[in-house]
């Protein structure tokens, strides 16, 4: 049986890729659009999603995914963000390569902790669940920005993802 968390993380990666592809059709000016009450511009929000996901995975795996990690202050281009999505995709699969995650395993620190920053100990389920939650939250904000500015949005729910995977399909009439 495929691990449920793996399914959710794969959905998150799929949604990021779809949204990035959609945003490639935007102009530079459109990528800088925002609305009050959201994280920031479309570009910054995309970078924030992916940089955070790298952070959660580094904590879960206990090692850097690559050097250097994506930093939000770098004003990353969509190409740079897309390159980091590839790192995230690979790390998600690596996380589950040896079976299910032990949700109660205590993670004592992260290799990305800056000097002088506080150290957090946490059960592994927390960064894993945060990975799933965080992406949904911020992709929703990008959807709101696009919609507010009259730009086409995407359906990034689990329903279309499952359809694409073949895990859900319209039932035959003669059933």
User: For residue 46, how many other CB atoms are within 10 A of its CB?
Assistant: 25
Cα separation, 14 vs 161, in Å, equals 8
Helix, strand or coil for residue 83?
A: helix
Q: How far is the CB of 174 from other proteins (least distance, A)?
A: 12
Please list, in sequence order, all residues whose beta carbon lies within 8 angstroms of the beta carbon of residue 31, skipping any fewer than 6 positions away.
Answer: 23, 41, 42, 43, 78
Cα separation, 29 vs 44, in Å, equals 13
Choosing from 25, 27, 171, 174, the residue that interacts with other proteins (CB under 8 A) is 171
- Give the x/- contact pattern for other proteins in 51-90, rule: CB under 8 A: ----------------------------------------
Q: Please tell me the count of residues contacting other proteins according to CB under 8 A.
A: 53
Instruction: Give the footprint of other proteins on this chain (CB under 8 A).
Output: 1-2, 4-5, 7-8, 11, 35-38, 101-104, 118-123, 125-130, 132-134, 136-141, 143-148, 153, 157-159, 162, 167-171, 175
């Amino acid at each position: 049986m495929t691990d449920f968390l793996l399914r959710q993380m794969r959905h998150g990666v799929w949604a990021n890729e779809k949204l990035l592809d959609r945003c490639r059709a935007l102009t530079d000016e459109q990528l800088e659009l925002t609305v009050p009450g959201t994280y920031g511009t479309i570009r910054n929000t995309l970078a924030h999603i992916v940089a955070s996901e790298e952070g959660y995975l580094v904590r879960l795996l206990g090692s850097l995914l690559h050097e250097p990690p994506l930093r939000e202050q770098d004003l990353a281009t969509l190409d740079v963000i897309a390159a980091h999505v590839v790192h995230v995709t690979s790390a998600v699969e690596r996380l589950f390569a040896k079976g299910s995650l032990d949700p109660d395993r205590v993670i004592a620190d992260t290799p990305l902790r800056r000097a002088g920053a506080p150290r957090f100990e946490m059960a592994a389920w927390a960064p894993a669940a945060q990975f799933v939650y965080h992406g949904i939250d911020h992709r929703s904000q990008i959807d709101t920005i696009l919609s507010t500015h009259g730009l086409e949005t995407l359906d990034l729910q689990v329903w279309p993802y499952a359809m694409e995977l073949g895990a859900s399909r319209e039932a035959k009439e003669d059933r």
